[in-house]
Amino acid sequence: INISLYFMNQKGFTAFGYGHMSFDERMKFYMNNGVKFLIIDSILIKQDYLKPYLKSKIGAYQNICIFDLKSDIN
């Protein structure tokens, strides 16, 4: 389920197992548990629910974008 995190040698969360929470509830939970970065497919950048978390892009590789979540979230 978290094979992408394993391959990147990173600890973290995916959406699996958190379907009962809204996206904002999940992000709050993740950030309260030490998550510092959001790694997403670039096709998702246009999704309105992600916009508050996409303020500080720190990198990209092919179709993957990385955002710093330590920046201010409104």
pLDDT of residue 71: 65
Token pair belonging to 9: 């040698």
Among 41, 54, 49, 42, which residue's Cα sits nearest to residue 22? 49
What is the predicted pLDDT for the residue at 73?
56
The pTM of this model reads: 0.77
Sort 18 into a burial class: Cβ within 10 Å, 0-12 / 13-18 / 19+: middle
| Whether the predicted pLDDT of 11 surpasses 70 | yes
Residues 18-72 pLDDT 10s: 889 999 999 999 999 999 999 899 999 999 999 999 999 999 999 999 999 986 5
Both tokens assigned to 22: 């809204």
Residue 16 has pLDDT above 90, yes or no: no
CB atoms within 10 A of CB 62: 7
